[in-house]
Amino acid sequence: MVLMRDLRSAAQTLKAAALPVAARRLRIWLIIGAVGFGTMLHYGDMLPVLGDAADGSPVSLAYRQSLERILFLLPVMYAAYVFGVPGGLGTLAATGAVLLPRALIGGLLDHAIPEVSGVLVVGTLLTRVIVQQQADVTAQKKLHESVSFFVRQVLTAQEDERNRIALELHDETAQELLVISQRLDRLAEHDDARMPTGLRDELRSVRTSVVRTLADLRRLSQGLRPRILDDLGLEAALEWLADELGGEYGIRIRVEVDARLSSYSRNVQLLLFRIAQEALRNVVRHAGASQATISVRGDGDRLTMTIADDGRGFQLPSTLSDLAGTGRLGLAGMSERVRLLGGVLNIRSSPGKGSIIEVDVPRSATSAATGPVSSERRSAADVSVLVQT
């Protein structure tokens, strides 16, 4: 059994290695076939089989030859695109070897030679343009990957720092404030006739302020890294987020979940929570909405999270790259997190008609995503879309 498994694995490895070679050979044969077909057409009037058809053609021989010479540029362009400068120039040399004899043996040298020369010059220029364009595309792709890598590193550092600060606030600062509160409580309740009444009231007032500060500190710690997300999962964290923001800003936020969120990795749930958190913060701070809804749906192949509100809406920029330039850094951050998930961000909004933010993530991406904790992943489906209604 082990031997069969090893043989099967070796066969799969050889097959995977052979695929690029087979594809390369197929492309070479396509170029050879295109040049060969063009050669047959170009010399068709000299062949017994095609001579009669060429003689009966309503198109003049000179016009057909001019068109055929131009069509020889197609395999040159394809070779330059696939194999770069060597492929383009090599195919161009073969094209010249095909075109030049016919131009010399024909009776129309006054335009045949300039046409062949023009095809060679244009083919050289096209090869250079195509190769340069490919180099520019490759450079843009590398730049995009570098920016994506940098964004992942920034988000990773941000989450690590949030987690560190939240732990310090909860385990150190909050505990110190709790001890101070208990000591103030004991001092205020101490039965000492020599303690002035005003001092006892002042101690109780200070204790109340410490307790209030402790509650604010715990709320801040939860906002930085909600422990409920780690303990109970995304659904419970969304419910908590809706209660917190709804109670603080007086807005009704409803959470509807129809998906098995527990099957998704912790990092995917964290990214989705941050997207919902940023979206709801924009709603409660800027939208002027009276209600909002978080809806999470999953159908096995895709996961869709929608945040909708009935607020004032806003004017969307023409492209996603304009978000940061217009000061909408929250939306830009959301789009980058969606990009890490390999999903699509759709934003629909217009003034006076509310807003809808939809995150559509494929199951394959979420199962493989490592989120901001890992910087090794390269997303192939990093598309973000803006739709204005």
Supply the mean pLDDT for the chain.
76
The Cα–Cα gap between 216 and 212 comes to: 6
pLDDT of residue 11 exceeding 60, the answer is no
The gap from C-alpha 163 to its chain's centroid, in whole angstroms, comes to: 25
pLDDT digits (tens, 9 = 90+) for 141-155: 888 777 767 766 777
Residue 323: exposed, middle, or buried by beta-carbon count in 10 A (0-12, 13-18, 19+)?
buried
- What is the model's pLDDT at position 128? 92
**What are the residues facing 349 on neighbouring strands?**
355, 388
Closest CA to 282 of 314, 240, 258: 314
Domain positions in the chain are: 2-151, 234-389
174 Cβ partners below 8 Å, 6+ apart? 214, 217, 218, 221
The Cα–Cα gap between 255 and 237 comes to: 10
Q: Which residue type occupies 265? A: S
In eight-state DSSP terms, residue 385 is E
- Tell me if the domain spanning 234-389 has CATH number 3.30.565.10: yes
pLDDT of residue 75 exceeding 60, the answer is yes
pLDDT digits (tens, 9 = 90+) for 234-269: 888 889 888 888 888 888 889 888 877 777 778 888
For the chain, give the percent of residues with pLDDT over 90.
Answer: 3
Most confident of 55-59, 222-226, 266-270: 266-270
344-349 and 291-298 as β-strands: parallel, antiparallel, unpaired?
unpaired
pLDDT of residue 196 exceeding 80, the answer is no
Confidence of residue 9 (pLDDT cuts 50, 70, 90): low
Q: What is the mean pLDDT of residues 342-367?
A: 79
Residue 6: exposed, middle, or buried by beta-carbon count in 10 A (0-12, 13-18, 19+)?
exposed
pTM of the prediction? 0.56
